[in-house]
């Protein structure tokens, strides 16, 4: 018995030390456990980005950490792909009754955490072996990590208690542009997005997978399948205080995500040199400074429930998609065509050289400060037919309009919550770099609010205009067939 105990101790020590045997490549640090599986770094730059992105997600959800209708006194919670652990830590603080476990390939979580929060170095592709079932399973931004989504959903289902919830918050590809004339041939950002998808596909990742979760969830037995799509503007061009703050976070996130996403994938899979990658990314950053080009991304939050009897099978009627408010520019203007969004790679021609889009003046420079962009465009308003039906460009199906907001009489936008992060004062949650950038955004919000108040007082009552975003909340009218789900394609004949 003593020998067994000693062997277990040695094994534990060996595993513990081996996970810190990081791999260094192209000037970045990568995980050691299950080496090479996740093509994204785990160094300080990436940790900073993940903490910053966390606040973009919280701002998107109006300060919330989740959308699932879980109990405030929830007990057992699993956070898959926890990253820096910031979501798990804040959830544990907000739910003292919960025992929160975060899993990840990298041991990059802080050591000072709430007593009801812990972390485990684990590969979610392996069999899940836990001592308990969970009331709630959460994952976020795993599109570059999970190759087998049906298997992931199967394991989540098997490890949920009856009545438990699964929630997946995912950023989707490709990137979008309001200008339908922008294509991967003339836009370095859209070209990067396309190349990321091509490289990801070659190693078994589905960069458009989050659009097609409904049939996978239903096949595993989940019911009450809901999805809500949010728009993430890249930069400050979109109308409204919330969108401007969100756009600032997303732009900062993207600047760090470009090398994090490309250095390993483009060099390992596409066989580019590091120099070619750096020059190309400099061209992408240069394009992001162009005030006339408005880019955005979709974030889809999926929520599904395991039935109480564990024998239920999801049906088409269980699925509901709701679309977020559309993005408007600061000045009203004609809406661009939806053609780019519905078919981002239309008439695509292969660019043979990674330097083909490189601008000689781009240079290998750091990102410039985010400019304030004033334009007269808005993002892809859903098309309305003569019969009043709405065609949703995301689901490519027919949707029934639930609500219309009259911009002449609707109230103004809600107060935007500050994204101060950890509410309990536990400073170890967030990296100093991310904390400084979050503080800068909050300071900018305060300055903007002060300027608006001063301007309003000077102009007097009744002057100016009210920023009222139009909502486009839809419920999918589903046919009886298998398809017409988010991103699903009909079976090939």
Nearest to 325 by CA among 417, 237, 404: 404
- Nearest of 197, 136, 194, 126 to residue 161 by alpha carbon: 136
Angle made by CA atoms 99, 168, 41, in degrees to the nearest 5? 85
Would you state the pLDDT for residue 326? Answer: 59
- By three-state DSSP, how is residue 451 classified? helix
CA distances for 418 relative to 245, 366, 439, 447, angstroms: 10, 28, 10, 13
CA–CA separation, 190 vs 215, rounded Å? 28
pLDDT of 45 reads 92
Place of tokens 């699964």: 166
Q: How far apart are CA 218 and CA 436, in angstroms?
A: 43
* Residue 230: per-residue pLDDT: 96
CA 304/CA 312 separation, integer angstroms: 13
**pTM of the predicted model, to two decimals?**
0.68
pLDDT tens digit at each of 493 positions of the chain: 444 334 333 333 334 667 777 888 888 888 777 776 778 888 899 999 999 999 999 999 999 999 999 999 999 999 999 999 999 999 999 999 999 999 998 888 998 999 999 999 988 988 999 999 999 999 999 998 899 999 999 999 999 999 999 999 999 999 999 999 999 999 999 999 999 999 999 999 888 889 999 999 999 999 999 999 999 999 999 999 999 999 999 999 999 999 998 998 899 999 999 999 999 999 999 999 998 999 999 999 999 999 997 554 444 455 555 655 555 655 444 444 444 444 444 443 443 333 334 333 333 222 223 233 232 233 333 333 343 332 333 333 333 333 332 333 333 333 444 444 444 333 445 565 666 666 666 666 566 555 555 544 444 443 333 332 322 332 322 333 333 333 333 333 3
Strand 117-121 and strand 28-30: the pairing is unpaired
Q: For the chain, which domains are there?
A: 19-406+431-452+469-476 (3.40.50.150)
pLDDT at residue number 271: 94
pLDDT for the residue numbered 479: 30
């Amino acid at each position: 018995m003593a020998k067994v105990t000693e062997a277990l101790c040695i094994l534990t020590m060996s595993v513990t030390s081996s996970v810190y045997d990081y791999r260094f490549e192209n000037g970045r640090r990568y995980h050691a456990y299950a080496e090479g599986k996740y093509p994204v770094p785990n160094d300080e730059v990436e940790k900073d980005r993940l903490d910053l992105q966390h606040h973009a997600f919280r701002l998107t959800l109006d300060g919330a950490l989740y959308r699932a209708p879980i109990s405030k006194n929830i007990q057992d919670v699993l956070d898959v792909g926890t990253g820096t652990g910031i979501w798990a830590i804040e959830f544990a603080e907000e739910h003292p009754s919960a025992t929160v476990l975060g899993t990840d390939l990298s041991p990059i979580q802080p050591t000072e955490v709430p007593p009801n929060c812990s972390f485990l170095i684990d590969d979610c592709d392996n069999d899940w072996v836990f001592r308990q079932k969970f009331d709630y399973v959460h994952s976020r931004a795993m599109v570059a990590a999970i190759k087998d989504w049906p298997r992931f959903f199967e394991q989540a289902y098997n490890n949920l208690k009856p009545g438990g919830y699964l929630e997946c918050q995912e950023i989707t590809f490709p990137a979008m542009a309001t200008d339908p004339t922008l294509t991967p041939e003339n836009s370095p950002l859209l070209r990067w997005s396309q190349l990321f998808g091509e490289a990801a596909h070659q190693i078994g990742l589905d960069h458009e997978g989050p659009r097609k979760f409904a049939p996978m969830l239903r096949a595993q037995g989940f019911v009450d399948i809901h999805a809500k799509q949010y728009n993430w503007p890249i930069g400050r061009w979109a109308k409204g205080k919330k969108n401007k703050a969100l756009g600032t976070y997303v732009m900062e996130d993207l600047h760090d995500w470009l090398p994090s996403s490309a250095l390993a994938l483009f060099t390992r899979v596409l066989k580019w040199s590091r120099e070619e990658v750096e020059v190309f990314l400099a061209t992408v950053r240069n394009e992001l400074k162009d005030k006339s080009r408005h880019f955005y991304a979709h974030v889809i939050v999926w929520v599904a429930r395991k039935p109480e009897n564990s024998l239920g099978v999801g049906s088409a009627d269980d699925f509901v998609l709701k679309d977020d408010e559309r993005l408007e520019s600061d000045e009203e203007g004609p809406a661009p065509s939806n053609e780019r969004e519905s078919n981002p790679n239309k008439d695509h021609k292969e660019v043979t050289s990674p330097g083909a889009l490189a601008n000689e003046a781009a240079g290998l420079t750091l990102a410039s400060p985010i400019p304030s962009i004033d334009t007269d465009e808005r993002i892809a308003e859903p098309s309305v037919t003569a019969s009043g039906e709405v065609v949703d460009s995301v689901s490519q199906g027919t949707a029934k309009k639930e609500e219309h907001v009259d911009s002449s009489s609707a109230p103004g936008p809600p107060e935007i919550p500050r994204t101060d992060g950890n509410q309990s004062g536990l400073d170890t949650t967030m990296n100093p770099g991310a904390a400084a950038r979050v503080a800068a955004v909050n300071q900018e919000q305060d300055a903007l609010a002060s300027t608006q108040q001063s301007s309003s007082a000077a102009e007097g009552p009744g002057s100016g205009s009210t920023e009222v975003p139009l909502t486009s909340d839809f419920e999918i009218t589903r046919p009886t067939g298998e398809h017409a789900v988010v991103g699903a394609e009909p079976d090939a004949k």
